[in-house]
């Protein structure tokens, strides 16, 4: 790919963008986002990007809708500034859970997000651990999905004695994805059979497939939002004889009172990544953050040079 690499950060997670720049040995490309009193935005790229290979870093986090619009405006501004190629780096993809038409007259919003990025002018997308594999198929432009399992597993192997652990999927839908962790850590799997009524984020565990008695349960999920599923799974495996409960997840959404729930719960520890910003008030002692910046930097370099991204999956 001709042209130099330029990394631009939206307002969502500048710390991750700067960390990616640090691993690449480049400076963050300056840009300005102005919020007017009528809640309109203005995005301006503050240096020449003509013929550059540009990567825009903007995960989906509150305020979600404003962040999406800012990302689309940045991509559009780069297109009109004659950037040679534009890659939207979206570590946590917006509306990834809205991936199917499971009730009448609703939007499959994850597909809509893919369409909007393409329409704005993105040439490709780089993301991490989509909630469902089919979301990658919503894109008509190249979309690379990185996996956090190697990073989380490396941390767990280095900092835990896993000889008496059992991996626990917090619901049946997560049981397939947890296989990547089981293969790397060489651990058995148990699955919590969970039922959810409506959209109130309150899940009810009804059965446990597998054995956790006398063992340390390690609950793995792709994201933690309100914390209700994690708290229910923690209580459930302890009731089924687990000696201790730990957890790991990729995307720490941690909305509402999730942090307070975790802090007051019997959950011993939670390992997350920095695909989303975690403000200081949420960085409690139980939560440890592993960075994905190096992996994203390696992916950016691979995309720029035309080398394999799949090799990064290890």
What does DSSP say about strands 85-90 and 53-57: parallel, antiparallel, or unpaired?
A: parallel
Q: Quick one: average pLDDT of 134-150?
A: 95
Q: What is the pTM of this model?
A: 0.94
Mean pLDDT of 210-222: 96
Distance CA 243, CA 215 (A): 5
Mean pLDDT of 213-221: 97
Largest CA distance in the chain: 61
Say which range, 21-30, 151-160, 200-209, 262-271, has the weakest mean pLDDT.
Answer: 200-209
pLDDT band at 193 (very low <50, low <70, confident <90, very high): confident
pLDDT tens digits, one per residue of 16-47: 999 999 999 999 999 999 999 999 999 999 99
Q: How confident is the model at residue 199 (pLDDT cuts 50, 70, 90)?
A: low
Mean pLDDT of 67-76: 98
- Specify the pLDDT at position 132: 87
The pLDDT value recorded for residue 173 is 75
Look over the chain and give the mean of its residue pLDDT values, rounded to a whole number.
94
Instruction: Say if CB 190 and CB 214 are below 8 A apart.
Output: no
- % pLDDT > 90, the chain: 87
Closest CA to 6 of 69, 74, 99: 74
- Copy the structure tokens of residue 149: 């399992």
Select which of 6, 18, 100, 194 is catalytic.
Answer: 194
| Whole-angstrom distance, CA of residue 257 vs CA of residue 238 | 22
pLDDT in tens, 95-129: 999 999 989 999 999 999 999 999 999 999 999 99
pLDDT at 152 exceeding the cut of 70: yes
Reading the block at residue 203, the tokens are 């899940």
Residue 261 annotated in active site? no
Q: Work out the angle at residue 141's Cα, subtended by the Cα atoms of residues 138 and 147, and round it to the nearest 5 degrees.
A: 70
Has residue 210 got a pLDDT over 90? yes
Give yes or no for residue 231 having a pLDDT over 90. Answer: yes
Rg (CA), the chain: 20
Per-residue pLDDT tens for 264-314?
A: 999 999 999 999 999 999 999 999 999 999 999 999 999 999 999 988 876
Banded model confidence at residue 185, pLDDT cuts 50, 70, 90: very high
The average pLDDT across 74-93 equals 98
């Amino acid at each position: 790919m001709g042209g130099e690499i330029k990394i631009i950060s939206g307002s969502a997670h500048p710390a991750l963008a700067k960390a990616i720049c640090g691993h690449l040995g480049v400076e963050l490309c300056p840009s300005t986002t102005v919020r007017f009193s009528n809640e309109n935005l203005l995005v301006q790229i503050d240096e020449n990007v003509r013929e550059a290979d540009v990567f825009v870093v903007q995960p989906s986090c509150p305020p979600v809708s404003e962040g999406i619009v800012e990302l689309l405006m940045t991509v559009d501004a780069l297109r009109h500034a004659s950037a040679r190629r534009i890659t939207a780096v979206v570590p946590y993809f917006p509306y990834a859970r809205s991936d199917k038409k499971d009730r009448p007259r609703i939007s499959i919003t994850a597909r809509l997000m893919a369409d909007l990025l393409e329409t704005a002018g993105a040439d490709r997308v780089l993301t991490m651990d989509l909630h469902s594999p089919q979301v990658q198929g919503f894109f008509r432009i190249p979309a690379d999905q990185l996996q956090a399992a190697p990073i989380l597993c490396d941390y767990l192997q280095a900092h835990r004695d896993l000889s008496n652990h059992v991996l626990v999927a917090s619901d049946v839908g997560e049981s397939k994805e947890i296989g990547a962790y089981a293969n790397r850590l060489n651990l058995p799997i148990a699955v919590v059979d969970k039922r959810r009524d409506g959209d109130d984020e309150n899940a009810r565990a009804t059965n446990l497939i597998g054995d956790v008695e006398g063992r340390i349960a390690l609950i793995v999920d792709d994201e933690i939002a309100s914390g209700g599923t994690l708290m229910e799974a923690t209580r459930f495996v302890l009731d089924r004889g687990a000696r201790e409960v730990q957890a790991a997840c990729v995307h720490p959404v941690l909305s509402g009172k999730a942090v307070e729930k975790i802090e007051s719960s019997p959950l011993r520890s939670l390992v997350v990544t920095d695909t989303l910003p975690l403000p200081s008030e949420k960085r409690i002692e139980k939560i440890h953050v592993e960075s994905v910046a190096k992996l994203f930097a390696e992916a950016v370099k691979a995309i720029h040079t035309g080398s394999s991204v799949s090799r990064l999956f290890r």
